[in-house]
Each structure stands twice: as C-alpha cells, then as structure tokens.
Amino acid sequence: MADAPPLTYGRYLRVPDLLRLQHRLTEAHDELQFIVVHQVFELWFKLLLFELEAIRAAIFAGDVGGALHLLRRAHEIVKVLTTGWPVIETMRPVDFLEFRSELKPASGFQSVQFREIEYISNLKDPKYLEAFREDAEGAQRLRARLEEPTLWDAFVALLRSRGKPAGSDEEILQTVIQLQRRTEDHDLYELVEALVTYDQLFAAWRARHVLMTERMIGARPGTGQLAVAKVVGEEAPAPGEIEYFSGVHYLRTTTDKRFFPLLWESRTFVER
C-alpha cells in the first residue's frame, strides 16, 4: 500500500504491544521483575516448542543433519532458560512475601507450554490435565499434544527406517548400545548424543528451579498446592503437614524425570 508507514523496529516486533503486557497486582518493587522473568521464560518456551516440532519432523524425514542443527539451538535455549534463575534469586524472600499471597492459586505448575514441552519430548503424563480444569484452551492444547508423536517416536521410526532392530525396548536398548561403539552410522550416534544433551540440560533446568525455590520459600507450600494436590492425588494438606506438602517436596519428585530413559540406561551396558 502506497501510504502504509515504513517499517520500524518497534512496528515489526510489536514492542509497544509487548511492553503493555506487564500488569502488577501490587506496588511491590520486585513484582515487575517476577512478571518479566516469567514472561521471558514463556517466550523461550514458545521458541523451544517450535524448534522441537521441527526437530521431530526432521527425524521422521530421515534428515539427521537438519535435526542436529536445530537440536544445537534447543540446547542453547535451555541453557539460556537456566541462566534465568539467578535473576529471580536477586529477590530476597522478604521481598517475595510482599506480593506472593496475591498470586494464589496461580503457579508455574499451570504453564501450558511447559507441559507441552514435556509431552512432545516424551513425558506424556495425562494426569497433568487435571491442573487445567480452569483453562479450557490450555487443556485443549495438551490433549492435542497427547495425540501427537513424540521426539522418541520419531527416533524409533528412524532406527527402523535405517534397518536397525527397534521392535521392542530391549531391541532399542541393544541398538543404542551398539551405536555407541561408533563403528557405523556415525550420524545416528551423534543424534543419540544430542538427544541426551537436551535431556541433561532440561534436567539441570529442573534441578536449578528446585534450588532457587528452596532458597526463596524453604518448606512452605507452593502457591499452586491445590492444583498439585489434584494431580498427584493427595488430599489438601492439613495444618502441620507443611513439610510433606512443601512446594520443594513436589519439585524434588520431578528431578529424576528423563525424556529418553533408554538412552540413559544404555550407558550402564556399553562396552569398549
């Protein structure tokens, strides 16, 4: 169009729109930091999901080089996410208490994109849908993800298309052990390593979140404890049960989660 204004940085990136999205519930100084850190995490989650979808497509298409290229980007995104924790740790527990009670019952536990990342990456636990009863759109997105193939499904299909035994978990395990001897199919070996690196970086993100949480709220219940209770099938906590029901207690139960357990298990059996 002849009279359309020229493109500017702000118009292209919708910066004014972006900067209008931070609404504090209180006057507490640290609340803006809290909102910005969460929103930045969600933006990175968005990009990570986009890249994971492309990685899955590349693996299904047998394009191992393309998958490796984008997996390197996924690694860097998860590393950046992990560097977000020290920013939030500059908030003192007393500063957080100034606005924390206003957040209840909301919690990162209700992050739709985080669960989507888990589902597409191969941790499909439908129990988590319980946490989205108040969020029809989020629940819909998660139900769709539950129907989709995962990165692991793509990897197993690739092994089969390359003539590798992959009919059962035991066969996949043996195939992955064999790949680690690096005698053939070097590209598949590189893919195994890149998937393990993604899994390892994600586990480190989880572990760092737990440490930050312990430092911030000790053994207090999380703001999302009611949603957690629905998902893990516990009764709402009685007074005095704070230690058991602490947010950190729940988070610690997640730190052993792995997207690709067979890739980790193979390390136990690999021989020279």
Nearest-CA neighbor of 208 among 89, 85, 123?
85
DSSP 17-55: HHHT----SS--TTHHHHHHHHHHHHHHHHHHHHHHHHH
Asked if residues 111 and 43 have their Cβ atoms less than 8 Å apart, the reply is no
Exposure of 186 by Cβ count < 10 A (0-12 exposed, 13-18 middle, 19+ buried)?
exposed
Shortest separation between residue 91's beta carbon and ligand HEM, angstroms: 6
Q: Which is nearer to ligand HEM, 38 or 141 (CB)?
A: 38
Give residues 214-243 in contact with ligand HEM (rule: CB under 6 A).
216-217, 222-225, 228
Of 53, 103, 114, 162, which lies in the binding site for ligand HEM, with binding defined by CB under 6 A?
Answer: 114
- The radius of gyration of the chain's CA atoms, rounded to the nearest angstrom, is 21
DSSP state of 208: H
Taking residue 212's Cβ as centre, other Cβ atoms within 10 Å add up to 18
Asked if residues 176 and 168 have their Cβ atoms less than 8 Å apart, the reply is no
Q: Which stretch binds ligand HEM (CB under 6 A): 148-156, 168-176, 183-191, 210-218?
A: 210-218
Of 24, 98, 254, 265, which lies in the binding site for ligand HEM, with binding defined by CB under 6 A?
Answer: 254
Taking residue 91's Cβ as centre, other Cβ atoms within 10 Å add up to 19
d(Cα 169, Cα 198) in Å, to the nearest integer? 21
Q: Which is nearer to ligand HEM, 144 or 232 (CB)?
A: 232
Of 33, 82, 111, 197, which lies in the binding site for ligand HEM, with binding defined by CB under 6 A?
Answer: 111
Of 247, 259, 260, 262, which lies in the binding site for ligand HEM, with binding defined by CB under 6 A?
Answer: 247
By CB under 6 A, is residue 38 in contact with ligand HEM? yes
d(Cα 94, Cα 255) in Å, to the nearest integer? 27
Shortest-Cβ-distance residue relative to ligand HEM: 222
Q: Which is nearer to ligand HEM, 177 or 207 (CB)?
A: 207
By CB under 6 A, is residue 198 in contact with ligand HEM? no
d(Cα 112, Cα 139) in Å, to the nearest integer? 8
Q: Which is nearer to ligand HEM, 159 or 217 (CB)?
A: 217
**Would you state the structure tokens that stand for residue 190, as one six-digit string?**
């590189």
By CB under 6 A, is residue 107 in contact with ligand HEM? yes
Shortest separation between residue 37's beta carbon and ligand HEM, angstroms: 5
Shortest separation between residue 248's beta carbon and ligand HEM, angstroms: 6
Q: Which stretch binds ligand HEM (CB under 6 A): 145-153, 161-169, 208-216, 233-241?
A: 208-216
By CB under 6 A, is residue 96 in contact with ligand HEM? yes
Return residues touching ligand HEM (CB under 6 A). Answer: 37-38, 41, 88, 96, 107-109, 111, 114, 209, 213, 216-217, 222-225, 228, 247, 250-251, 254
